[in-house]
Structure 1
Amino acid sequence: MIVTRFAPSPTGYLHIGGLRTALYSYLYARANGGKFLLRIEDTDLKRNSEEATIAIREAFDWCGLDYDGEVAYQSKRFDVYKEYVKKLLDEGKAYKCYMSKEELDELRAQQEARKERPKYDNRYRDFTGTPPAGIEPVIRIKAPMEGEIVIKDGIKGEVKFKVEDILDDFIIARSDGTPTYNFTVVIDDALMGVTHVIRGDDHLSNTPKQIVLYDALGFKKPEFFHVAMINGEDGKKLSKRHGATDVMEYKRMGYLPEALLNFLVRLGWSHGDDEIFNMDDMLKFFDPHDINKSSSTYNAQKLDWLNAHYIKTLPYERLAKEMKEFGVDFNSHAKGELLLNILRERSKTLIDMSKAANSIINAPTEYDQKAYDKFITVQTKEILTKFSEILTLNLDAKGYETLTNEFLQANEVKLKDLAQALRVALTGNSVSPGIFEVLEVLGSTETKNRITKILN
């Protein structure tokens, strides 16, 4: 069975790069009848944030990424890690290192002076003497001292590391007894049965250390897939200057989770020239072996385009539910479904839809000054007055169009002389959906009331 996991550190919000990694892991497990696990890597007790943990789970809920079993918290597994530290010590595969901070600083200075790679010099690797007083030891793994570590990566292919270039006897437990990242990751992935690890390629340099630990502990190694980073359009690593990086910020900006997931799955993976992928499509086509080796580029215009697509195509009830969070209850309006369907054709985000809906549902309390000065004139006020007088029945958009054309012809008036002034009267500005559709939503009585208001 394929078992994947997503294992964020709760030190801040969930980054969209993290969500992409989670999505890839989720799709591979779900498509193959496997398990997808969520693990919170919270062993760094000084940097952890309960709010960040909540934010991660909130983002998962919003995106609809479910996980199997309970959320695993590393902070509740210290006894497990201590057990494996003891096992390695007892087997002579790890040792206590009593090197003081002063000794370490001196070693680093000497190595820098010789322009060598800073690394521990193994001085306590085979130490059998009396431990120095006053030093709480760290625990170091006995890493290989020569040769190569070869990783068969599902994306990058075969990656080779020379031991002397990257490894020393690295720390697996600090002097206060807390385990280090690479150690806990290996223990948890092995004990949780993780078969495939999909993660950002910023973790590639950690993988040789983890291979050493898998071998020392006798655990079966998972298959690794290291995904290239997401860059901004300037080619630099994605950051806030390129756009929002917090997953939940996209919700607040009016994006739909379907659009964000569709956008993210395409940042590094493709299926022919297809652009639109709902969850069923992703589950059908996604394979992590097809992920691109090169970095992907964040494109805000593509996200807007995808979001507009889902706004156009999602069922009315689903969109109406989403819009309640943006202050619009379409179900409470007599023509709510009609209005939503009108607005969905011209909205890139739910915020766009909210602004447009409120400008129609709510009678304007003020008017855009530029629009008012340009379109509300002595002539157009006279036209609005006459137009108001013929509004006696509630019609559909086609009916209002016919009525208006008859009015224009009878009064020798052009549509532009009426339509823009009418928009300002009805919505407070000169931008709206088709004027006949707006008339259908509002009805004749409300339309007359708003015309009366702007004339007085």
Structure 2
Amino acid sequence: MKIKTRFAPSPTGNLHFGNVRTALFSWLFAKKNKGKFILRIEDTDVLRNNLKSVKNILEVMNWLGLNWDEKIYFQSKRFNFYKKIINLMLEKKIAYKCYCSEDILKNKRFYQILKKKKPKYDGTCRNLENNIFFNKKSFVIRFKNPKSGYVEFHDKIRGIIKFNNSELDDFIIQRRDGSPTYNFCVVADDLDMKITHVIRGEDHISNTPKQINIFCSLNANVPIYAHLPIILDKNKNKISKKNSNINIMKYFREGFLPEAILNYLVRLGWSHGNKEIFSISEMKNFFSLNKISKSSSIFNIKRLLYLNKYYINNIIDIKKIILLLKYYFKKENINIKNGPNIEKVFNIFKYRCSSLREIVISSNYLYDKFLNLKNILLINFSNKYILIIFKVSYYNFKDIDLWNSSKIWKKIVFMSDKNNFDLKNVIDILRVTFTGKFNTPSISKIIYLIGKKRILYNLKKCILFLKSSFI
């Protein structure tokens, strides 16, 4: 059997982690088995669809590298195909026209609830013969669900799941306006696209018996189902489009790497021994449906940050990182033209930061053209003491021929010892002066990155600024 899976999001909001994990697992299963993975946009809900959501789906899939093997399918462009299948179902009498008005249906539901019965269509029009009177009325088309027996399927994650047909409804497959409904379109598409495995969230379990019954009524092969457990947020609420406004692309804007996102997602409900870090090729090689847990997973941002930091520090493609950092510097309106080499900045800051954007924000002072002299006012020492340190620093730094962090550090230690300065005081004064921050990488590395010319120029400015304060 040629394996074929699909990811079929509806464009009614931004993709969240639950959606993307479904896409990843479907993609991995297809790739592991040398099969095909397709992308299908389920956009039959005209009132809720929006183009921004379609764009978001494509952006996320492309960013994460979850490539599809055929053209993108849009359900909204397949209405003629659906119409043919529905007409066939009417001919075979496995579907029927229902002429009950909305008011009649509301009344039926009201009295069923009043009698503590499960609300469902009572089959009034199930066996009606067509006549002129009925043909003039508006109608929906319903699937003629079996009244007896049961639907049983083996879920690859949950085992045997069974539903009594008596609990199911003659559900609508075509609305009054002629548009097809979700449960019908899914079956028609899965059948037409030869989908072998349907991997999706557990919230679709209730739809599965309806869809299986349509497959069986058409004498078609039923796909194998695997329903994934839900992902919960930190408050243990289900992550969904309804309760989450998080756009996965937010993590791109924050400087996360796709490798980290995928590695994090693959471990939400799936495991391979005690292994935590997976390359894409390892995910493909090790992935299997029988290793997916039935239990819900809780989204943990700290874990994601840890993985992102790991990938930042173990990245192989440094050129890719440099290009991304340039993008983030530009987004933050930081001009890098006359500043230090980005790769050198990256190599110093990567151990301290959990995202590329954090590296950019943490190192922005390295690219400031003008020193903010107000930084000096943040230092909790007397101006005379600071002035002496600036003067001594100027002449010692000027004396360095080979400008590197090692030579700079030796000079800082030397001038502190020779002038009986407290080394920590010297470091604190220089750090706050040049960065405006109290916590940075090694001061000798910061001074090295800023460069000898700028350091000497800025020390001169600082000396003049302090001298003027004595007048």
Query: How would you bin the TM-score normalised by the shorter chain?
Result: over 0.9
Corresponding position of 1:168: 169
Shift of 1:209: 0.3
Counterpart Cα distance in 1 of 2:137 and 2:382: 84
Shift of 1:231: 0.5
Counterpart Cα distance in 1 of 2:3 and 2:83: 28
Counterpart Cα distance in 2 of 1:296 and 1:326: 31
Candidates 415, 419, 436, aligned match of 1:407:
415
2:426 counterpart letter in structure 1: L
2:319 counterpart letter in structure 1: E
Aligned partners of 2:339 and 2:366 also within 8 Å: no
Specify whether residues 29 and 325 from structure 1 end up closer, same or farther in structure 2 by C-alpha distance, changes over 3 A only. Answer: same
Query: 3-state SS of the aligned residue for 1:96?
Result: strand
Aligned partners of 1:97 and 1:137 also within 8 Å: yes
Corresponding position of 2:389: 383
Unpaired segments of 5 or more residues in structure 2?
A: 466-471
Residues 110-189 of structure 1 aligned to structure 2 (within 5 Å) = 110-128=111-129, 130=131, 131-132=133-134, 135-165=137-167, 167-189=168-190
Per-residue deviation, residues 400-427 of structure 1 (Å, max 9, x unmatched): 1222221111111122111111112211
Candidates 323, 334, 343, aligned match of 1:337:
343
Counterpart Cα distance in 2 of 1:119 and 1:431: 65
Aligned partners of 2:234 and 2:300 also within 8 Å: yes
In the alignment, is residue 325 of structure 1 matched against residue 334 of structure 2?
no
Per-residue deviation, residues 296-338 of structure 1 (Å, max 9, x unmatched): 0100110111111111111321211111221168797553322
Per the normalisation by structure 1, the TM-score is 0.95
1:60 counterpart letter in structure 2: M
Number of aligned positions between the proteins: 455
Query: 3-state SS of the aligned residue for 1:5?
Result: strand
Counterpart Cα distance in 1 of 2:279 and 2:457: 44
Aligned partners of 1:367 and 1:429 also within 8 Å: no
Corresponding position of 1:359: 365
Aligned partners of 2:17 and 2:239 also within 8 Å: no
1:11 counterpart letter in structure 2: T
Corresponding position of 1:233: 234
Corresponding position of 2:447: 439
**Greater mean deviation of Cα atoms: 395-404 or 34-43:** 395-404
Corresponding position of 2:262: 261
Counterpart Cα distance in 2 of 1:246 and 1:368: 39
Specify whether residues 454 and 203 from structure 1 end up closer, same or farther in structure 2 by C-alpha distance, changes over 3 A only. Answer: farther
In the alignment, is residue 346 of structure 1 matched against residue 348 of structure 2?
no
Specify whether residues 107 and 359 from structure 1 end up closer, same or farther in structure 2 by C-alpha distance, changes over 3 A only. Answer: same
Counterpart Cα distance in 2 of 1:243 and 1:113: 35
Per-residue deviation, residues 351-407 of structure 1 (Å, max 9, x unmatched): 210112212222455367697143574312311221111112342211212222211
Query: 3-state SS of the aligned residue for 2:329?
Result: coil
Counterpart Cα distance in 2 of 1:206 and 1:54: 27
Corresponding position of 2:458: 450
1:438 counterpart letter in structure 2: I
Aligned partners of 2:3 and 2:36 also within 8 Å: yes
Aligned partners of 2:260 and 2:307 also within 8 Å: yes
Shift of 1:282: 0.9
In the alignment, is residue 312 of structure 1 matched against residue 317 of structure 2?
no
Specify whether residues 120 and 417 from structure 1 end up closer, same or farther in structure 2 by C-alpha distance, changes over 3 A only. Answer: same
Specify whether residues 368 and 302 from structure 1 end up closer, same or farther in structure 2 by C-alpha distance, changes over 3 A only. Answer: farther
Shift of 1:3: 0.6
Query: 3-state SS of the aligned residue for 1:391?
Result: helix
Per-residue deviation, residues 129-185 of structure 1 (Å, max 9, x unmatched): 6344753111111111122211210001111112222x1111111111111101000
Counterpart Cα distance in 2 of 1:319 and 1:75: 39
Specify whether residues 316 and 364 from structure 1 end up closer, same or farther in structure 2 by C-alpha distance, changes over 3 A only. Answer: farther
Instruction: Give the CA RMSD over aligned residues.
Output: 2.1
Counterpart Cα distance in 2 of 1:375 and 1:264: 50
Aligned partners of 1:391 and 1:445 also within 8 Å: no
Specify whether residues 219 and 136 from structure 1 end up closer, same or farther in structure 2 by C-alpha distance, changes over 3 A only. Answer: same
Aligned partners of 1:182 and 1:209 also within 8 Å: yes
Aligned partners of 1:256 and 1:310 also within 8 Å: yes
Per the normalisation by structure 2, the TM-score is 0.92
Specify whether residues 241 and 87 from structure 1 end up closer, same or farther in structure 2 by C-alpha distance, changes over 3 A only. Answer: closer
**Greater mean deviation of Cα atoms: 354-363 or 107-116:** 354-363
Query: 3-state SS of the aligned residue for 1:381?
Result: helix
Counterpart Cα distance in 2 of 1:266 and 1:451: 51
Q: Percent identity?
A: 38
**Greater mean deviation of Cα atoms: 329-338 or 116-125:** 329-338
Specify whether residues 347 and 290 from structure 1 end up closer, same or farther in structure 2 by C-alpha distance, changes over 3 A only. Answer: same
